[in-house]
Amino acid sequence: MLLLKCPKCGNKMKYSSTTHILTKKRKRCVYCGRSFKITDNIVKKV
């Protein structure tokens, strides 16, 4: 499980990956709808 931070609105959200390959993957922010790169916005691994 990863803790991600949205670069636009700053909200944090959890992300559980089904694969170990995170490069180039994107997540859509559940708060503002912006999609961002997972690898650039990891706060910490949970």
Q: Which residues are near Zn ion by CB under 5 A?
A: 6, 8-9, 29, 31-32
Which lies closer to Zn ion via its Cβ, residue 8 or residue 26? 8
Cα–Cα separations (whole angstroms), residue 34 to 10, 18, 23, 28? 11, 21, 18, 5
Which lies closer to Zn ion via its Cβ, residue 9 or residue 44? 9
Question: Which segments of 2-41 are extended strands (E)?
Answer: 2-5, 12-15, 26-28, 35-37
Q: Least CB distance from residue 9 to Zn ion, whole Å?
A: 3
Which lies closer to Zn ion via its Cβ, residue 30 or residue 44? 30
